[in-house]
Amino acid sequence: MKFELIFNNKTLLIKVVKKKGMKNTYLRVKSAKMIQINTNYYFTKEDAINLLQRKQKWIENSISKFEINSLEDNEFYFLGVKHKNLDLRDLDKFYKKEVQKIVPPLVEKFSTIMNLYPTDLKYRKNKRTWGSCNYKNGLNFNTLLVKFPIEVIEYVVIHELAHIEHKNHSKKFWNLVEEYCPDYKQREKLLKSFL
C-alpha cells in the first residue's frame, strides 16, 4: 500500500509493506520524502496515519538529518565535508585511492594500541557493510568510508579489529570496542546521520 501525506507542509510518500507473521511494526524514514512501515496484514491506512502522528517529532528529526546531509548531483562528501565535483572526477576511483591512504595508518595505530593484528587489508565498495573481519582475521573496508569524518573511520577500524578477538557482537565484543572508543555510540550516530 502506498499513499501520500502532507506532513509539516511537505508531501511525503508513505509505503506500507505487509509481511506474513510479523508481530511488530517498524517505521523507517528512507529519505527526506519517503517513509516505510513494515507491518502485518491487518494494518490499515488509518493505523499508519495514527502511527505517523504519534511519531511526528522523531520523524521530523530524522527528515531534518536527511536534509542536512543531502547532496546535489554535483556534490560529494570527503572526510565529512561536502565538496563540489568541479572536475567531474570518478568518485569510485577517488574513494578507492583515498581509503588506501587513510585506513592503513589507522589500522597500524589501533592494532598496536589494542594488540590485535589483521592478516590482510582489502577494500571494496559494499552496499551493506562498512567493514568486515573474516575467519582468517583479514579485514575488509568499504571504499565509501572516506566520505565520513575521521572519527567515524576510526570507530569502524576499532570495531573490525575487535572482531579479531570476538567474531560476534557479544557483550565482550562491545566492552572491547568501548575500551578503545568510549564514545562509539555517538560515532555510530554520526555514521548513520550521513546515510
Phi, psi of 74 (to 5 degrees): -100, 20
The verdict on 52 and 109 lying in the same domain is no
Q: Which residues pair with 121 in a beta bridge?
A: 139
The pairing of beta strand 120-124 with beta strand 138-142: parallel
Q: How far is CA 153 from CA 2, 11, 49, 143, in A?
A: 37, 35, 38, 11
The verdict on 150 and 178 lying in the same domain is yes
pLDDT surpasses 60 at 17? yes
Of the candidate ranges 19-33, 43-57, 77-91, 136-150, the one whose mean pLDDT is the lowest: 77-91
The verdict on 36 and 100 lying in the same domain is no
* Average of per-residue pLDDT across 156-183: 95
pLDDT of residue 174: 96
The verdict on 24 and 88 lying in the same domain is no
Domain end, chosen from 42, 69, 96, is at: 69
Closest CA to 195 of 141, 152, 135, 151: 152
The verdict on 49 and 80 lying in the same domain is no
pLDDT surpasses 70 at 28? yes
Query: Domain count of the chain?
Result: 2
Of the candidate ranges 33-47, 61-75, 171-185, the one whose mean pLDDT is the lowest: 61-75
The verdict on 103 and 121 lying in the same domain is yes
pLDDT digits (tens, 9 = 90+) for 84-126: 776 777 888 999 999 999 999 999 999 999 999 999 999 999 8
The domain in which residue 150 lies consists of 75-193
- HSE (CB half, 13 Å, CA atoms) of 57? 1
Q: From the DSSP assignment, how many helices (H) and strands (E) are in the chain? A: 6, 9
- Residue located via cell numbers 506532513: 7
pLDDT of residue 165: 93
Domain end, chosen from 69, 84, 101, is at: 69
Q: What is the DSSP string of 139-164?
A: EEEEGGGGGS-HHHHHHHHHHHHHHH
pLDDT surpasses 70 at 194? no
The DSSP call for residue 55 is T
Q: Which residues pair with 36 in a beta bridge?
A: 15, 28
- Residue located via cell numbers 555517538: 186
Dist. CA 140–CA 127, nearest whole Å: 13
The verdict on 50 and 126 lying in the same domain is no
pLDDT surpasses 60 at 195? no
The verdict on 80 and 65 lying in the same domain is no
Name the pTM for this structure.
Answer: 0.67
pLDDT of residue 66: 66
Dist. CA 129–CA 118, nearest whole Å: 18
The verdict on 45 and 81 lying in the same domain is no
pLDDT surpasses 80 at 14? yes
Average pLDDT, whole number, for the chain?
A: 87
The verdict on 32 and 113 lying in the same domain is no
The verdict on 166 and 91 lying in the same domain is yes
The verdict on 65 and 95 lying in the same domain is no
